[in-house]
Amino acid sequence: QDSTAACSFVIIEAFSRIKKMMPDDDPSHNAMSDLFDLDRVGVEILRAVGIFVALILCLFLLKLFVLERAFKIYRKEAELLFIGSMAYNFGVSALCQLVGFSPMAGAYFAGMSLAFLPTRSHIESKISSLKGFGMINFYFMLGISLHLDGASFQRLAPLSALVAALVAFVMPAVWVASTRAVSLRGRTRSYIGCVSNSMGEFSLIIQVLAFQAAIFNRDTQIVLVLASIWTMVITTVSQEYKQQIYRATGGWYTVDQSNAATVEQECHFVSEGHVILLGLNQMGKEMAECFREKGQDVAMIDLDPELCRSLRRVRAIYRAEEEPRTALSSRRASPRSAPLLPPRI
């Protein structure tokens, strides 16, 4: 996603520069060479790419020599951590505006550089609520700026439905075929397909940037916004029933994962001394990175949803001599809350 964001921002910046070079509509300009100098186009594109590379290099040097030391001081106070994070993002955005680069791109990459700091969990705990508030405001302002009437909806809705169908159904098939080529497990491929069928908030941000840069016209923006709404609805349903979708299409995902290298690696794996994390998700990965920074070995286990569902139905039955002495110990011993037992006398 980060690489996609980088490419999207550079492309939009280059197109906006080319758009500014084009003169107003004039009947005297009939050829493409009359609209703008092709040599200048190449220079502007190289300039946008150069500013982007310089921005990434500067942020890397800041993270390496300044940010880690500064945020060790900021983390002592929650308010100072919040103010420091926001000041850093707005400062980078202002500098990008000063040199003629997209300020939104600068703020995005500044926030991404904070994600590599050891204190990122503290920063996320303070900024997450602000992020949600900002996205609500973004959706609200998008609804105000998007002028959609009945005639436009009737004319553009079929095209938006076609775009949504391509994203919701064709894109997962492409992902499944690609992940099959690298021999991912069937369940993993199925779940990737269920989460890759949406045009989310990041797509909406790119659409707004392209519209403001006059790359997209009004009809194109309406089509993409409507398609994003359709895909958000579809991906919500697919997330809710992803296990049923996997069962219904299980034959498509079956692949033999056994090979000599995998079997040998599993046989030589020693779990002693490892920190065991149950659940292969984003939070688990961040916890694993914290343990790895301390020099500890970490083993992450991706729990099978079917196993978790079976464990929820387990009910402990005790013999008289093994009966828990208190209601608290009874609840701790059983995966489900067993009937509260009075203490034995």
The reply to whether 198 and 295 lie within a common domain is no
Domains contained in the chain, number: 4
The reply to whether 192 and 308 lie within a common domain is no
- Is there a domain that residue 264 lies in? no
**Predicted confidence band at 6 (pLDDT cuts at 50, 70, 90)?**
low
The reply to whether 11 and 118 lie within a common domain is yes
Position 111 scores a pLDDT of 80
**CA proximity to 108, closest of 72, 68, 65, 55:** 55
- Give the position of tokens 């701790």: 332
pLDDT of 232 > 60? The answer is: yes
* pLDDT: which is higher, 294 or 326: 294
- Angle, nearest 10°, between helix axes 201-212 and 2-21? 10
CA distance 170 to 189: 14
> What would the mean pLDDT of 187-192 be, rounded to a whole number?
74
DSSP conformation letters of 181-225:
HTT--HHHHHHHHHHSS---HHHHHHHHHHHHTTSS-HHHHHHHH
Position 340 scores a pLDDT of 37
- Is there a domain that residue 225 lies in? yes
The reply to whether 210 and 285 lie within a common domain is no
Position 159 scores a pLDDT of 92
Position 47 scores a pLDDT of 78
Give me the count of residues in the chain.
345
Residue 300: give the domain boundaries.
269-312
The reply to whether 42 and 88 lie within a common domain is yes
- Is there a domain that residue 62 lies in? yes
- Give the position of tokens 């006398």: 345
* pLDDT: which is higher, 74 or 100: 74
The reply to whether 290 and 327 lie within a common domain is no
Share of the chain above pLDDT 70, in %: 63
pLDDT of 217 > 80? The answer is: yes
**Predicted confidence band at 344 (pLDDT cuts at 50, 70, 90)?**
very low
334 CA to centre of own chain: 37
Give the pTM. 0.56
pLDDT of 104 > 50? The answer is: yes
Average pLDDT over the chain, rounded to an integer:
71
Please report, to the nearest 10 degrees, the dihedral formed by the alpha carbons of residues 87, 90, 94, 96 taken in order: 120
The reply to whether 63 and 181 lie within a common domain is no
- Is there a domain that residue 262 lies in? no
> What would the mean pLDDT of 142-161 be, rounded to a whole number?
85
**Predicted confidence band at 312 (pLDDT cuts at 50, 70, 90)?**
low
> How crowded is residue 270: how many other Cβ atoms within 10 Å of its Cβ?
8
